[in-house]
A and B are shown apart, each in its own frame.
Chain A
Amino acid sequence: MITKNITLFLTILFISISAMAQDFPYGKVDNKALEMKKYDKDTSAHAVVLQEYGSSRIALTNDYDLRITFEYHAKIKFFDNKEFDSQGTVVVPVYGNGNSYEDVQEIRGITFYKDDNGLIQAAELDPKKVFRVQDNKHWSTLKFAMPALRSGCVIEINYKVVSPYIYNFHSWNFQSNIPKVNSEYEVHIPGFWSYNASLKGSLKLTKNSATVERKCFTFGIANADCSDIVYGISDVPAFIEEDYMTAEKNFKSAINFELEEETNLNNGAKTKYSKEWKDIDYLLKGDNSFGSQLKRKDLMKERIMPLIVNKTDELEKASAIYTYIKNTIKWNERNEAGSDDGIRKALDNHTGSSGDINLALVTALNSAGIRTEAVLLSTRANGTLNNLYPNLFDFNYVIAKGNIGDKSYFLDATDQLLPFGMLPLRCLNDKGRVFSLDKPSYWIDMITEQREKVICNAELTLQVNGKLKGTITRFSIGYSSYLRRKEIKKFNTVDEYVENFNSKLPKVKILKSSITNLDSLDMPLGEIYEIELDAADNLNHEHFKFNPFFMNWITTNPFKLAERDFPVDWGMPSDERSVFIIHLPAQYIFENPPQNMAFAMPNQGGKFLTSYDSRDNTFTFSNVTQFNKSVYGPEEYPYLKELYNKIILSEKNEMVFKKK
């Protein structure tokens, strides 16, 4: 990640006045573009952005209202009709609240094409065919479909979004799912404001120039120079998604801005927005949706006192409070880093966002004397944080960090099935920033000890009628126990779960089942099945056969690519092991004892082992699959792929029993 500070009041290095970006003229097309049959740099592209130019300018309107005007202008070539839906229909989301709103202006579009007689025609977008839909309270969408699209056409789109939200400076996506010949973004910022800019993705800027325009912004007697900066990348390749990667936006090339400082136009007072963490700490402490909520200990006290009155152990107290919050406020599936309407409302309505729920939890724990901090984070889908300069807007989630004795526990009360101290996968991303009312904030890695762990034991006896009878026990431990409980709770009853589990194992009849610790969230979840498994071989009645991988069969390698550009990110390590003990009747033997297999990834990254052992007429087959890391880089990918290859190879070893 590259960071550029846009320093405005200081002297800016003049690169060259002539380096200023220029928007390209609207409404012109050359025959070459219409004749283009493919894009040489990516011959498989169905469309290519020929030119793309955007600009954001801060300026005053005639009524002296301050606005950021974002202008978008693009020219796109279609080689066929595959990208009509994604590129030929334009969607502009706009935000508004009761008092102010973003406004889309001067929408224009034009489609150039060769008509049935080979003549160049231009069809203009009819402004009446631009639709506005109010999606919900704050968001609406402007949508329009470009007219007269046909294979080979070139479209041009141009519009402006005028926004009163100075703190929300338009970011720019250099990369999308189609390639671009050139993409440029010009920002024009008067010295009263300064922003931090950060570049994401692996592409390098091919153009980056800055110029200063003297006294370009005047408000009463105040005036300032403006800085005009151009960011550009040429030959931007299409972005191709890979499986098991985290948020696309972690990898797509884009530039983002955050307001750093603002000078009051009336009195010249400077407001720093997020210069340093201590500024953010100060800001958060006073924030109605954050710090103020953490101070509402009295609100929580009356609710939690009855829960802990007889408890002396801090961990017990914390656990009781955690359970209370989980059972009192239902998560509305919204990720928020703060509590917009306050935790009282969430408590009263029994519903709230992650911010409402977990800030209530932090406050409740503190009110019980358990020192608890709030951890702001960004969920996996929201992408990684920019941790080069302080930025509050990257966070979209908050959890609690309860400190008990010399241990600390990450707590998220959004899901009733989460055990104390376990986080849902969405939170296991990058870093978190730990806040409390009385200490400076600090970073913490969002890494926990939790892992997925499953242990499966089976002891089966082959009957002379070809049925394997016995018991299979599966223990789901750690994160796996949470996942398994979620799976079970999808059914109305445990019985329905077992029925469903059985329905996927056609050769198995479950005679009896029991599930242990379903509601004891801190304990491993046990499933015990008494089963009868049909080992008959339809093709050879002399044989019986059995495949110990029957419960979790992997058909093909999940990793298909020869190599990857992006890491495989599973969020946490995993460990799966099983032991099968099989007793054979005296007259039967095990025909094809498998070879032991062992495959280990470098640096203890993971392993797959099988081992076989026999004594008298009893044999034992065990296997272990272990992934010790949460994230595997592209250089480790071949080993990951090979590990799966080994699993699949060993799955092929069906066990065959035959009469002596």
Chain B
Amino acid sequence: MKRITLILCLLLPGIISTAQNNYDASLIPKDLLLYASAVVRNEEVTTEVKDLDNVIHRVKRAITVLNKNGDDIAHIVVRYDKNIVIKYIKGSSYNEFGKLIGKFGERDFEDESAISNSSLFEDDRVKHYIPAITQYPYTIEYEYELKYKQTLYFEDWTPNPTTGLAVEKSSYVFICNPDFNIRYKELNFPVKVVTGNNKYGLKTYSWEINNMKAIKDEPLSPEWNLYLTRVIVAPEKFAYGNITGSFNNWKEMGKWEYDKLLSDRTDVPSQTAEYIKELTANIADPKLKAKKIYEYMQQKTHYISIQVGIGGFQPFLASDVDKLNYGDCKALVNYTRSLLKVVNIDSYYCLVYGNHKEKISMLRDFASMQGNHVILCIPFKNDTTWLECTSQTKPFGFLSDFTDDRIVLACTPDGGKLMHTPKYTTEENLEKRKASFIINDAGELTGDMETVFKGTDYDDREWIIDDSPAERVRDIKRIYPINNLEIDKLVLKQDKSQRPVTTEDIKLSARDYGSVSDGKFSFTLNSVKRRIGLYQTRNRVKPVNINRGHTEEDEITYTLPKGYHLVSDPLKVSIDKPFGNFTAVMTLSGDQLVYKRKLQIRDGTYSKDTYQDLVDFYQTVVDADGYNVALVKN
């Protein structure tokens, strides 16, 4: 889908300045310099709807770059395609004291394709310009105007989109005819919109913000929707190419999408339809039928990103995918939906924000073009099933961490419907390990280890599962922190049920695992899964967000070399906190040492003060994981 590119590329554009502005860097308020590489001195963004197919988007912006790290922020990137025309770009640069040192125009910009490497085709292009100024601080002031030939979506206003950027002043004005109605959504915006009319009798909506400090990169931050200041505007009536429409809520938006973009695209060639019927003829259970069809689709197709046609919002015809065996997310979801339709199974085309790291939901109370990906939902009675159609390997009904636990928009014949994808819980996301090792008196470790991965952890070995044996062994050696690790046998198995399980079986050896000298013998008790600590931070600003729970359980039995006795104090740690718990215990009987470890991290949002607790918690884990067993010869 195209929107994510829009969001990512255009977070940066911004606004104003007139000749009177003084860009002397020393005038920047001191508290804006903290953690800042650059400061927006002044920004004015204006969107003016002249007609349904004519929107002028004007950006004026002055940025003072404080050091080399701010150069990227000063890099001007203007995206365009066949629906967006660049009217003009111009700018000037100023030295530390605000003295004009140069001017630049559109001819100084480089023109490049904005196509991503993974994509076969997109018509996105960018014009970009890197100000080349070697003395810091410096200021660049620029201005550009774009003409959009559509009103389906407008650029969001995000005055402070990136870490390291402070904002002295930024404003956004939306201008339209009195009969052009909009809805807007203010996110993390401390003040309110000001509405009015300009001298031409046009409606204006104005937002302004001053003195925003630079956002600091903090581990375990909430997803960006929850802290970035942003204003989104959506039209009531709009035109996109030759498609027109209107929507005020998700129901209407989903209806429009279903009727205008998705209908009449599901015909499959009769041969394929016949084959599908034949394939599922002996299956009575609709869910098993669907599974068969999904697996057929998986082995037949593969994912290729192509953004053509109606701005990348409309899927290819199912018959094209049937012929080519490839398509993007929209095309493959539409194709799967079409195949299911052949055997009278209804399914929903669902828009979603796919992201492995952050769970971003559709805004519940604001309908607009959101999402960057499409998945399929089959509304079996009491057993709603979700399908990721771009994967050739995902088990039927398994979404994984890319689209789990978030609000999506299902496009149904009755209109749009917000739905929530399944959540994988702390207990379900399990990495459970059982090992039996022997350590001989030369310090060599040998033994067997079995690990099962469940929930979103199912995917943990996905990246190597189809590699050659030599590559797998190489990669497994990078995963485990055992020095001199040699893998004598490695078996990976996948149980592709709806609650899938990956099982890893390893036979291993490692010389010098234990260190032996002078009758003393020591080795690290936790050989397989050692945590690294969490960064300490000063003055935490944002709440702590753990977006996915997780459980690790290890049980390792060591057979110790004969003739030694333990001299270190046995390991026994147990802590329990709201965000997680940890126990690590060893017991020794004869030459059998049993080590049990359990670490559980619970998802949730916690106060910013919790962060220090988490640091301490992890440090306890790190210390326990680093515990050395010390033995001495009898």
Of B120, B302, B466, B518, the residue contacting A595 (CB under 8 A) is: B518
Q: Is the CB of A507 within 8 A of B325?
A: no
Nearest A residue to B623 via CB reads A538
Distance A492 CA – B130 CA, assembled complex (angstroms): 20
B135 partner residues in chain A, CB cutoff 8 A:
327
Q: How many residues of B contact A (CB 8 A)?
A: 73
Contacts A135-B113, A492-B35, A492-B69 hold; do A44 and B481 have CB atoms under 8 A apart?
A: no
Q: Is the CB of B474 within 8 A of A561?
A: yes
Determine, out of B366-374, B378-386, B529-537, the stretch whose residues face the partner at the interface: B529-537
Q: Is the CB of A503 within 8 A of B537?
A: yes
Distance A150 CA – B296 CA, assembled complex (angstroms): 11
B520 partner residues in chain A, CB cutoff 8 A:
592
Distance A560 CA – B510 CA, assembled complex (angstroms): 12
Nearest CB of chain A from residue B102's CB, rounded to whole Å: 8
A145 partner residues in chain B, CB cutoff 8 A:
120, 304, 324, 326
Interface membership of B392, Cβ < 8 A = yes
Nearest A residue to B303 via CB reads A85
Interface membership of B275, Cβ < 8 A = yes
A351 partner residues in chain B, CB cutoff 8 A:
130, 132
Q: Is the CB of A143 within 8 A of B120?
A: yes
Interface membership of A496, Cβ < 8 A = yes
A84 partner residues in chain B, CB cutoff 8 A:
302
Interface membership of B269, Cβ < 8 A = no
B474 partner residues in chain A, CB cutoff 8 A:
560-561
Distance A45 CA – B467 CA, assembled complex (angstroms): 9
Distance A111 CA – B490 CA, assembled complex (angstroms): 35
Of B134, B392, B471, B518, the residue contacting A328 (CB under 8 A) is: B134
Determine, out of B190-198, B249-257, B355-363, B614-622, the stretch whose residues face the partner at the interface: B614-622
A137 partner residues in chain B, CB cutoff 8 A:
110-111
A88 partner residues in chain B, CB cutoff 8 A:
302
Interface membership of A408, Cβ < 8 A = no
A267 partner residues in chain B, CB cutoff 8 A:
none
Distance A80 CA – B298 CA, assembled complex (angstroms): 12
Interface membership of B181, Cβ < 8 A = no
Of B37, B134, B524, the residue contacting A416 (CB under 8 A) is: B134
Q: Is the CB of A332 within 8 A of B536?
A: no
B34-63 residues at the A interface, CB under 8 angstroms: 35-37
Contacts A81-B302, A595-B518 hold; do A147 and B134 have CB atoms under 8 A apart?
A: no
Q: Is the CB of B324 within 8 A of A134?
A: no
Nearest CB of chain A from residue B119's CB, rounded to whole Å: 9
Contacts A330-B134, A652-B522, A653-B515 hold; do A116 and B325 have CB atoms under 8 A apart?
A: no
Interface membership of B27, Cβ < 8 A = no
Q: Is the CB of A556 within 8 A of B482?
A: yes
Q: Is the CB of A131 within 8 A of B522?
A: no
Interface membership of A489, Cβ < 8 A = yes
Interface membership of B478, Cβ < 8 A = yes
Distance A84 CA – B327 CA, assembled complex (angstroms): 13
A82 partner residues in chain B, CB cutoff 8 A:
466
Nearest CB of chain B from residue A575's CB, rounded to whole Å: 23
A649 partner residues in chain B, CB cutoff 8 A:
483, 512, 515
B110 partner residues in chain A, CB cutoff 8 A:
136-137
Interface membership of A490, Cβ < 8 A = yes
Q: Is the CB of B112 within 8 A of A135?
A: yes
Q: Is the CB of B69 within 8 A of A490?
A: yes
Interface membership of A521, Cβ < 8 A = no
Of A85, A136, A555, the residue contacting B112 (CB under 8 A) is: A136
Q: Mark A54-67, 1 if CB is under 8 A from B, else 0.
A: 00000000000000
Of B118, B132, B618, B628, the residue contacting A654 (CB under 8 A) is: B628
Q: Is the CB of B324 within 8 A of A147?
A: yes
Of the listed residues B66, B113, B524, the one surrounded by the most CB atoms of chain A closer than 10 A to its CB is B113
Interface membership of B300, Cβ < 8 A = yes
Q: Is the CB of B304 within 8 A of A147?
A: no
Interchain Cβ contacts within 8 Å, total number: 147
Contacts A81-B302, A143-B120, A652-B628 hold; do A492 and B522 have CB atoms under 8 A apart?
A: no
Contacts A44-B468, A129-B324 hold; do A556 and B481 have CB atoms under 8 A apart?
A: yes
A367-407 residues at the B interface, CB under 8 angstroms: none
Distance A240 CA – B533 CA, assembled complex (angstroms): 34
Q: Is the CB of B115 within 8 A of A148?
A: no
Interface membership of B121, Cβ < 8 A = yes
Distance A174 CA – B627 CA, assembled complex (angstroms): 51
Distance A630 CA – B464 CA, assembled complex (angstroms): 33
Q: Is the CB of A350 within 8 A of B573?
A: no
A173 partner residues in chain B, CB cutoff 8 A:
none
Q: Is the CB of B325 within 8 A of A150?
A: yes
Q: Mark B202-240, 1 if CB is under 8 A from A, else 0.
A: 000000000000000000000000000000000000000
Nearest CB of chain A from residue B486's CB, rounded to whole Å: 8
Interface membership of B599, Cβ < 8 A = no
A652 partner residues in chain B, CB cutoff 8 A:
515, 522, 524, 628
Of B67, B133, B537, the residue contacting A489 (CB under 8 A) is: B67
Q: Is the CB of A123 within 8 A of B323?
A: yes
A489 partner residues in chain B, CB cutoff 8 A:
67-69
Of A151, A490, A539, the residue contacting B571 (CB under 8 A) is: A539
Nearest A residue to B219 via CB reads A503
Nearest A residue to B302 via CB reads A84
Q: Is the CB of B275 within 8 A of A116?
A: yes
Interface membership of B244, Cβ < 8 A = no
Interface membership of A149, Cβ < 8 A = yes
Distance A469 CA – B484 CA, assembled complex (angstroms): 35
Distance A272 CA – B164 CA, assembled complex (angstroms): 55
B83 partner residues in chain A, CB cutoff 8 A:
none
Interface membership of A648, Cβ < 8 A = yes
Q: Mark A318-342, 1 if CB is under 8 A from B, else 0.
A: 0000000011111010000000000
Nearest B residue to A238 via CB reads B468
A654 partner residues in chain B, CB cutoff 8 A:
628
Q: Is the CB of B69 within 8 A of A645?
A: no
Distance A327 CA – B323 CA, assembled complex (angstroms): 58
Q: Mark A111-154, 1 if CB is under 8 A from B, else 0.
A: 00000110000010000010101111100000111011111000
Nearest A residue to B622 via CB reads A506
Nearest B residue to A140 via CB reads B113
Distance A327 CA – B538 CA, assembled complex (angstroms): 35
Of A85, A133, A330, A539, the residue contacting B569 (CB under 8 A) is: A539
Distance A80 CA – B515 CA, assembled complex (angstroms): 45
Q: Is the CB of B392 within 8 A of A131?
A: no
B300 partner residues in chain A, CB cutoff 8 A:
150
Nearest B residue to A594 via CB reads B517
Of B118, B323, B469, the residue contacting A147 (CB under 8 A) is: B323
Contacts A129-B324, A131-B120 hold; do A80 and B538 have CB atoms under 8 A apart?
A: no
Nearest CB of chain A from residue B217's CB, rounded to whole Å: 10
A499 partner residues in chain B, CB cutoff 8 A:
538
Interface membership of A583, Cβ < 8 A = no
Interface membership of A520, Cβ < 8 A = no
B531-557 residues at the A interface, CB under 8 angstroms: 533-538
Distance A201 CA – B540 CA, assembled complex (angstroms): 54
Interface membership of B299, Cβ < 8 A = yes
Distance A143 CA – B122 CA, assembled complex (angstroms): 11
A150 partner residues in chain B, CB cutoff 8 A:
299-300, 325
B284 partner residues in chain A, CB cutoff 8 A:
none
Interface membership of B470, Cβ < 8 A = yes
Interface membership of B477, Cβ < 8 A = yes
Q: Is the CB of A349 within 8 A of B132?
A: yes
Q: Mark B303-328, 1 if CB is under 8 A from A, else 0.
A: 01000000000000000000111100
Can you give 30 contacting A-B residue pairs, CB < 8 Å? A44-B467, A44-B471, A82-B466, A85-B302, A131-B121, A133-B113, A135-B113, A135-B115, A143-B120, A143-B121, A145-B326, A148-B323, A240-B470, A330-B134, A332-B132, A489-B67, A489-B69, A492-B164, A502-B536, A504-B535, A506-B534, A506-B619, A538-B624, A539-B571, A556-B482, A560-B478, A560-B485, A595-B518, A645-B484, A649-B483
Closest 7 CB pairs of A and B: A44-B468, A351-B132, A131-B121, A503-B535, A330-B132, A506-B533, A560-B477
Beyond known contacts A148-B324, A557-B484: 8 more, CB 8 A cutoff = A46-B466, A136-B113, A137-B110, A147-B326, A556-B478, A556-B482, A560-B478, A654-B628
